[in-house]
Structure 1
Amino acid sequence: MTPQERCLYVDGLTPKGGLYTDAQRPIHPDANSSWQVGPDPWRLPKPVLKHLEDLGHHLLAFYKAYNLLYNHSRRGIQPEWVAAYLDQGKPESVVALGRMNRTKQHLPLVIRPDLIPTREGMIATELDSVPGGIGFTASLGQRYGSLGEPIVGGRDGMVEGFDAALRFFAGVDDPVIGVVISEESASWRPEMAWVAERLIERGLEAYVVAPKEVVFSEDGLYVQGEDGLRRIDVVYRFFEMFDLKNIPKMELILYAAKKNLVKVTPPLKSYLEEKMMMALYQHPILSDFWAQQLSQETRDFLDATFPKTWIVDPAPLPPHATIHGLQVRDRVFSDWRQLGSLGQKDRQMVLKPSGFSELAWGSRGVVIGHDESEQDWQHSIEAALRLYDNNPHILQVFHNGSTFPVQHYDFETGQMKMFKGRVRLQPYYFVVDDIPVLSGVQATICPSDKKLLHGMVDAVVLPGGPAPESA
């Protein structure tokens, strides 16, 4: 096939409107896709694939240590301000869920970092333990795999990985899985329904339901199947912890979880959804803890992967103190407001909610310092400080992604086009028996003038594939 024929073939396999969630409108009346379609998977050289494989193991080690840090902090073994930061602005009922003894060791089954390839290396802007894109990435792998292209994790790797992780977590033969999707997350329902269909084809009984469709009984949670009610063994929650108060029947679902009538994953731990985890990793007071819990290799890996991150805490510093590690052209800072006077070129910074907020996902609430006027930047800093009590923010150093050429089919002209864009890589690791399995990679290539790299109608979205040995 020609590149044009390959693009049209892939688009033809795409359900009308796609399974994409960030942009629902098609790019053209003749297109099924709501993104730009390229002819080939995104080629990942062997060293990059090795890096991604290794990254999964280091991130799982980090999650384990981070989970331990929170538990040690609330018990006074580690500084109590750690848990105070992570619980900031959350109702006591939400905090209590994260402290249940029976789930103390539970970690997410799915780990997905957002990675930006830069000249300095691969930078993770955040880690997502309740990620969208599982079904979309899986479907991309199948479509491009049907062209005979090798896909990271294999053509069906995403579905196989999800299947294996859910079965292992369930711990019973022939488990029943309920994928519970809130109204806030409803735009992801098409892709999760697609995944559920693939799981069913593999013999795993899976249902995608809204919370109101879950049936509660004293002995557990049920969902309506073809032959009557089916008891759910595992709830895969597709909702953020901040949304609990808005979800119908959530009290009943939580009651079942507390009584061990059903297993829930990702675990009901709001601190696992906080972006400030990177700031805590870099905090000098905690360096001994991380050195005890993580190998030197893992620490070196994380040091190179996590951007410099700070918790934007409005508490005043004493006159002799400065904000650790925050320095611009040899200038140090003792008050976040002092950043407001920086020139545009010196504002290579990102301000965003840490978590537990409707603004903390999908690039909502993100402010790019050098994209703002000085006045708007100052207002953004003030807003972050003002919102701290209920919605702490973080500050990160902005890393400009490297540019790469990418081809796509232009439905307007009927021709192939090329542009240079910045790439966001999203590897998906499914944790099976304590091993993170790299099961797929989604590559989003955005026009180079875009600072926020996310799904958009201008972006080319591709599955990751290994580059030929000679590449």
Structure 2
Amino acid sequence: MELQEIKAAIPEYGLRQGADWLYSPEPFKLTKREARMVKSLGHPLAQFQKASDNIYQRSAMGRLPKWISGVLDAGKPEWMVQHQQQVGMREVVPRVIRPDLILTEDGFALTELDSVPGGMGITTWLSQMYSDAGFEIFGGRDGVPQGFRSLMPDGGRILVSEESADYRPEMEWLAQQVGNDIFVETAETATSSEADTYRFFEWFDWENISHAKDLAGMLNLTSPCKPHLEEKLWLALLWTPALQGLWQEVMRGKHLQRVKDVVPFGWMMDPQELPPHAALPSLGVHSWNEVKKFSQTERRLVVKISGFSELAWGSKSVQIGHDMPRDEWASAIETAVSQFNTQPWVMQEYHAGRIVEHPYYDPESGELRMMKGRVRLCPYYFVDGKGQTSLGGTLATIVPADKKKIHGMKDGILLPCVVEE
């Protein structure tokens, strides 16, 4: 596609306030193996979320160790904790699932599992535009609108908060693509309703949402008021040695293995002192004080806030160990450990993204150039009313190879995907 064609296709009111990105003449190409892996990952991830909720609820009821629900509830208001433990909420799970998948040399590394994702409007616009130009888009031209329609077959509304206002243009545009019975409302003033409702606000922002408690009680709200499921802690609990038998109990073996194949090893940053003979799993050291002293080669680790914070999204809290001085690394570990009881942090192994080459248009001259970069794939999975999971589309973000954090930025390319022939 020519740059002029792309710019001419941009919706009148834009798609994202204050954001821009680089454009490319062609989508990002997945191998057939990569496409199979992405397409088949949705169901295991949905089962992982159901299993996580099962573990949380049993812990809250005292049928499993209380420390599990305790750490997941840290820092949250009591009303929210009580709400997500109600009997009527036990079978309610998110119906939109979007993992962040870093494309690596041998597959993918899942760094986040988002139940309130942005980017659906942009993914739809890109998919439609490149499809109309003759490309066979992975997930289809209208996969995202069709998936979104499955959330509210009889119409409904999208609640967008002021905190998420930059995303409002793309959500309004997406609503138009889904149908004229889908409306966008301001979350701060919205009231509970019998209409199916998509939540595009974060629970940490609840005090600014006038009727947050009423909205939380809606069973037809997706994603539901289950903030524990939005904690990255689950990516660490997946690897906790004491819970391995439990995970095998609550998930089918092949589903559990599929999830473990993509989730890097992780740790809760719990300051509790270990017995003298014990060690932090996989790290081979006895305490976080020893982790502070790791050499640069030992610090191929990532530290980030688990959730329930304005710093928990957009890579705002992400700190990459081997990309920072030792004193800053030590300070990051100290901060994370000290906040465990109110704002838990997690640590994950760092998996480097594979270097790819992809063409893009220079934003100043319009000339075609080639970027050497790393790729993040964001597939959008939708769970319909019958519990069936389907892939709606996949957004690829390519950033220059010297960038360790991959997220939407002005020097990144945003693309839909195709599959190699």
TM-score normalised by L of structure 1: 0.86
Deviation of 1:275 (Å):
0.3
Moved more, 296-305 or 188-197: 296-305
Q: Deviation string for 1:37-64 (max 9, x for gaps)? A: 0011111122111111111111111111
Alpha-carbon distance in structure 1 between the residues aligned to 2:71 and 2:45: 21
Distance 1:78 1:120, change over 3 A: farther
The Cα shift of 1:263 comes to: 2.1
Deviation at 1:183? 1.5
1:342-391 Cα deviation digits (max 9, x unpaired): 12222111000001111101111111111111111111111111222211
How far, CA to CA, are the matches of 1:90 and 1:250 in structure 2?
14
Task: Choose the corresponding residue for 1:8, options 4, 28, 31.
Answer: 4
The structure with the larger Rg is 1
Per-residue CA deviations over 1:285-314 (Å, capped at 9, x if unaligned) read 111121122222222212211101100011
Q: 2:112 aligns with which of 126, 147, 158?
A: 126
What one-letter code is carried by the residue in structure 2 that aligns with 1:236? Answer: Y
Distance in 1 of aligned mates of 2:394 and 2:309: 27
List aligned pairs for 1:23-422, cutoff 5 A: 24-25=18-19, 34-167=20-153, 174-175=154-155, 177-201=156-180, 205-214=181-190, 216=191, 221=193, 232-254=194-216, 257=217, 263-326=220-283, 332-422=284-374
1:212, CA displacement in angstroms?
A: 4.0
Contact 2:358 2:370 in 1 (8 A): yes
User: Does the CA-based 8 Å contact 1:10-1:144 persist in structure 2?
Assistant: no
Q: What is the alpha-carbon distance in structure 2 between the residues aligned to residue 17 and residue 351 of structure 1?
A: 37
CA contact 2:175–2:182 (8 Å) conserved in 1: yes
Amino acid at match of 1:269: K
Structure 1 Cα separation of the partners of residues 198 and 150 of structure 2: 14
1:236-263 CA-to-partner distances (Å, cap 9, x unmatched) read 1111111112223324434xx2xx5x62
Deviation at 1:98, TM superposition (A): 1.0
Identical counterparts, % of pairs: 39
Matches of 2:278 and 2:263 in 1, distance apart? 25
C-alpha change, 1:250 and 1:76, in structure 2 (3 Å) is closer
- Cα gap change, 1:130/1:99 in structure 2, threshold over 3 Å: closer, same or farther? same
Name the counterpart of 1:170.
none
User: Take 1:462 and 1:131, find their aligned partners in 2: how far apart are those partners?
Assistant: 17
The CA RMSD over aligned residues, in Å, is 1.6
Alpha-carbon distance, 1:400 to partner: 0.5
Listed one character per residue, the Cα deviations across residues 187-233 of structure 1 (whole Å, up to 9, x for unaligned) are 111111111111224xxx1111112443x5xxx53xxxxxxxxxx51
CA deviation after TM superposition for structure 1 residue 413, in Å: 2.5
Q: Is 1:451 aligned to residue 413 of structure 2?
A: no
> Structure 2 counterpart of 1:385, which letter?
V
Secondary structure at the residue paired with 1:185?
A: helix
Deviations 1:256-275 (A, max 9, x none): x2xx5x62110100111000
Q: Which runs of 5+ in 1 are unaligned?
A: 26-33, 168-173, 222-231, 327-331
Q: Give the distance between the partners of 2:208 and 2:289, measured in 1 at CA.
A: 35
Q: Which amino acid aligns with 1:398?
A: Y
Q: What secondary structure is seen at the aligned counterpart in 2 of 1:364?
A: coil
Q: Does the C-alpha gap of structure 1 residues 385 and 264 become closer, same or farther in structure 2, counting only changes over 3 Å?
A: same
Measured after TM superposition, the shift of residue 16 of structure 1 is 6.1
Partners of 1:159 and 1:313 in 2: CA distance: 41
Matched-pair contact (CA < 8 Å) for 1:405–1:418 = yes
SS at match of 2:235: helix
Q: Which amino acid aligns with 1:388?
A: F
**Cα contact 2:60–2:85 (8 A) shared by 1:** no
Return the offset for 1:450.
0.1
SS of alignment partner, residue 90 of structure 1? coil
Which residue does 1:442 correspond to in 2? 395
> 1:17, 1:42 → 2: CA distance?
26
Pair 1:400–1:105, CA change in 2 (3 A): same
Structure 2, gaps ≥5 residues long? none
1:11-53 deviation per Cα after TM superposition (whole angstroms, max 9, x unaligned): 22113684246xx25xxxxxxxx11100111111221111111
1:353 and 1:393 in contact (8 A); partners too: yes
Contact 2:102 2:110 in 1 (8 A): yes
Deviation at 1:338, TM superposition (A): 1.3
One-letter amino acid of the structure 1 residue matched with residue 185 of structure 2? V
Alignment correspondent of 2:415: 462
Number of positions where the alignment pairs a residue of Structure 1 with one of Structure 2: 420
The offset of 1:284, in angstroms, is 1.5
- SS at structure 2 position matched to 1:319: coil
The amino acid that maps onto 1:296 is G
Deviation string 1:60-114 (CA, Å, 9 cap, x unpaired) is 1111111111111112222221111111121111111211222211111101000
Paired letter, 2:83: L
Match of 1:30 in 2: none
Aligned-partner residue type, residue 196 of structure 2: V
Runs of 4+ in 1 over 4 A off after TM superposition: none
Q: Distance in 1 between matches of 2:281 and 2:367?
A: 52
Q: Distance in 2 between matches of 1:186 and 1:412?
A: 28
